[in-house]
Amino acid sequence: MTVSYPGDPGYDEATQVFNLIAPAKPAAAVTARTVDEVRAALRHAAEESLPVRVHTTGHASAAVRPVDGSLLVRTRIEGEVQIDTERRIARVPAGTTWGAVVTAAARHGLAAPHGSAGTVGVVGYLLRGGMSFYGRDVGLAVNSVRAIELVTADGELRRVSADQDQELFWALRGGGGGFGVVTAIEVALFPASQVVTGVTFWPAAYAPELLSTWLRWCADAPAAATTSIRVMNLPPLPDLPPELTAGPVFGVDGAVRCADGDVAAGELIAAELLEPLRAIAAPVSDSWRPAPTSAVLEVHMDPDEPLPVVGEHMLLGDLGDEGAAEFLRVVGAGSGSPFVVAGLRQLGGRYAEPDPAGGVLNHLTASYAYAGSGLAATPEQAHRLRAHCDVVRTALTPWDTGRTVPCFVERFEQPQGHLSDVDIQAVDRVRARVDPTGRFSGDVA
């Protein structure tokens, strides 16, 4: 293990983040590739009296406290994704991204409750809740965690599960971090070899009727389908067709899980969603189709390369006509919104069901997850985006549940509320037990 300092070659590798709006500038940094290197990093931190911070891909860099003055440990634990087909479990080394898990699981006709981008780290996504396009069918992704391996501040490698330190296992799943350095995680998989997935876009001028129709469908949609709507203002890029960059567009994307491999049933569910929308206006782009599970990673069009992003997130109740109108007033065509994308993710189904075996965060009592964001290449653009985040929050306040999902939070300054006061106190007691000196206290969300 080599501890790197600003100017050293290894420093840039260890501190790289995906959201460039919030660069990591710790006092020192380590890329840990083995459990022993994690232990060595913690010994160094203790010797130098440095607090310890942890990250993998850096997607959440803007949603956490600055890492200044700390030792930053970037986990890149060596090893492959291991699939236990009999138990339907994937063991994933920390630092692995979802693309690798999806590929490994698909070889066995299995799927994972992954996010919309293959570049996102598995560990952070899962322990911060995890909202997948299978969520209404299988629940929050964090409920699929079956075991966690972590090195705590005393250098001990612990394996926690429903049978081993149940209290710590409960707190880790949604508790907000600050327990140690996770080195591996086990996640339950489910049978899926085919899905019906895609994205359909229309000119944003049709958004009021399209949104209203989508909301009505959501009211009693089958749990096999998880979808979202987005208003997008895409910049002209070489890999984007011109019909998507000529002006704002309104899109519907998502996935339908084909239970027992019944693709025809999945196509019927997708048709019940899409045919009324297609009847409103001809789409400018339409890619919904039966496809292998790997295709789900493509439909949300998330960037593959780091970018400076400013955004915000809320969990909303039922919008109705008034809420839909307010949403489009502040992010739709003619709103002057600087966002590249603003959308609503459909919740309900298994998302809303508490998991008796789950962690401190195990369900969502909301109808929709809102997220809006834009690119901030200059300080002026960042200021404008933050100001518009406030505009949208004010407009949607009547429907705001006051809750959030950590994996959707884009900036640390925004109100967060995924735990109750009672839960926070209980998690803090667990954290004090495994980290009595507060070595990881800066990592607490």
- pLDDT > 90 in the chain, percent: 92
Asked if residue 60 has pLDDT above 80, the reply is yes
Query: CATH assignment of 194-408?
Result: 3.40.462.20
Q: Which residues contact 12 (CB under 8 A, 6 or more apart)?
A: none
Cα distance between residue 22 and residue 18, in whole Å? 9
Mean pLDDT value of segment 83-106: 97
Nearest partner of 415 among 401, 433, 426, 435, judged by Cα? 401
Q: Which residues contact 238 (CB under 8 A, 6 or more apart)?
A: none
What's the pLDDT tens digit per position in 234-243? 888 777 888 8
The predicted pLDDT at position 19 comes to: 95
Q: Which CATH architecture has domain 82-190+422-433?
A: 2-Layer Sandwich (3.30)
The predicted pLDDT at position 301 comes to: 87
Domain 9-75 belongs to what topology?
3.30.43
Asked if residue 259 has pLDDT above 90, the reply is no
Query: By three-state DSSP, how is residue 380 classified?
Result: helix
Confidence of residue 28 (pLDDT cuts 50, 70, 90): very high
Q: Specify the residue for token string 């998989």.
A: 189
The predicted pLDDT at position 274 comes to: 98
Cα distance between residue 209 and residue 325, in whole Å? 10
The predicted pLDDT at position 235 comes to: 85
Phi, psi of 142 (to 5 degrees): -60, -25
Domains of the chain by residue range: 9-75, 82-190+422-433, 194-408
Q: Specify the residue for token string 């993998």.
A: 56
pTM of the model: 0.95
Asked if residue 13 has pLDDT above 90, the reply is yes
Asked if residue 312 has pLDDT above 90, the reply is yes
Nearest partner of 298 among 102, 143, 125, 139, judged by Cα? 102
